[in-house]
Amino acid sequence: MVESNNMPGHYNDIDKIYDEIWSRLKIGKKDRNSEFHQCYIASFGSDFPSVRTVVLRHVNNEETSIGFHTDIRSNKINEIKDNSNVTVLLYDHASKIQIKLNGIVEINHKNANTKAIWTNIRDFSKKCYLVKSAPGTISNKPTSGYPEKFDEALPTNEELELGYDNFSYINIKIKAIEWLYLHQNGHRRAKFIINNDNIIKQWIAP
């Protein structure tokens, strides 16, 4: 909904902002062309904060959670095990909307959740989990990480299933959300603190 003065319907309506956040996240999950399809997740590294790009794979507004897939051997897993607090950042350049999510991670590995997800993943994506060494391992030459026979060929279904051992689903239970909307007539920023079913909605200065 767009108002007549060229302001979006959510410009001065904090309830609409909250609905807009989850609507955009759901679109980001489904549409690979969406600016929200990829997001940046920050965790606590040993020496510096650690940030990387992940693909938004799961969105559940009823449980106030989002999720992505990753290799269980990756550095981010070790960081999350040490400190499960993370921040996720998304930005839509066209709409000039930034969303920042603070949450607590739950790691799923070889359980009912990952099994259900794995059965619906495309073969090309399953192949990613067949890399021989953990992501981030030092190599003395350029490498895809795959066993040589898989560099150009798609593995058989039986071979693809071996990747399941390395597959994990990262579920992030959202505890706080910040929204920033940039507009020439004045920016809008809001914060949402989530405590189970209780959501505190606050305007904050941009």
The predicted structure's pLDDT at residue 140: 86
Backbone phi, then psi, for 145, in 5-degree steps?
90, -15
The predicted structure's pLDDT at residue 137: 87
Burial of residue 21 (number of CB atoms within 10 Å: 0-12, 13-18, 19+): buried
The predicted structure's pLDDT at residue 2: 40
Per-domain residue ranges for the chain?
14-204
The predicted structure's pLDDT at residue 5: 61
SS3 45: coil
Q: Is 192:201 a contact under the CB 8 Å cutoff?
A: yes
How many helices, marked H, and strands, marked E, lie in the chain?
5, 9
Q: Is 170:97 a contact under the CB 8 Å cutoff?
A: no
pTM for the whole thing?
0.91
| DSSP letter assigned to residue 155 | P
Q: How far apart are CA 41 and CA 48, in angstroms?
A: 14
The predicted structure's pLDDT at residue 134: 86
CATH topology of domain 14-204: Pnp Oxidase; Chain A (2.30.110)
The predicted structure's pLDDT at residue 123: 92
The predicted structure's pLDDT at residue 141: 85
Per-residue pLDDT of the chain (206 residues; tens, 9 = 90+): 344 467 888 999 999 999 999 999 999 999 999 999 999 999 998 889 999 999 999 999 999 999 999 999 999 999 999 999 999 999 999 999 999 999 999 999 999 999 999 999 999 899 999 998 888 888 888 888 888 888 777 899 999 999 999 999 999 999 999 999 999 999 999 999 999 889 999 999 99
Q: Integer distance in angstroms from the first to the last C-alpha of the chain?
A: 23
SS3 162: helix
